[in-house]
Structure 1
C-alpha cells in the first residue's frame, strides 16, 4: 500500500471514530511531521488555513494535539500510540453508555 493510500485510510478510519473530515485531515497531516503551523497543515492536508484553527482546537480538546502559543502558533500531534489509546478509551466509554441507555429502556 502506498503512502497516499495509507493517509486516505487513516483519514477514513478517524472519521469512523468520530472526527470530522477537516479534523481527521489535520491530525494526519500533523502526525506525519514533528510539528507545524496552520499554514504547514493547510498545505499538507488541503484544509483551508482558516479551518485548520477550528479543527486543531477540537483535536486539542480531545487530547490529540498540543498547541504552542507563539507567533505563529505551532501545533504538535501526540504520539500515535497515545492518540490510538485516547480514541479507543473514548470509543469504549461511548459503547458502555450505549449499553446502559439500551438496558435502561428495556420493558420485558
Structure 2
C-alpha cells in the first residue's frame, strides 16, 4: 500500500502576474506571525480565484493588511482553484473586496 505524496504548491508560477519577471518580489508570509482570532473580533471570508502561488498570497495579504481596521489576514491557497481569504477586523467587505481585486485577483460573490 502506498501513501499518496502531498502536492506542494510552488513559490513561483510562470502563469501568475506577480511572478512575471518585471514584477517585484513580494515577501513570503511568515506562518509564525499568524495569531488566533479572538472571539470579539469579526471575521469575514472571501472566495478568491487567480492566486497560483505563495507570491500571489503574499501580495493579497499585503494589500489587505494595508487597509485600516484590518487586524489579520489568513489565506488557504488552492493553486488553480478557489482560495479562501479570511480577514479579521472591522473593515467593510466592499473595501476588502476592492483591495483584493486591485491586487489582481477575482473575488467570487456568494
Q: Please, what TM-score do these two structures have when normalized by structure 1?
A: 0.27
Determine which structure has the larger strand proportion and give its number: 2
For the pair shown, the structure with the greater C-alpha radius of gyration is 1
Determine which structure has the larger helix proportion and give its number: 1
Q: Please, what TM-score do these two structures have when normalized by structure 2?
A: 0.27
Instruction: Tell which has more relative contact order, 1 or 2 (C-alpha 8 A, sep 6+).
Output: 2
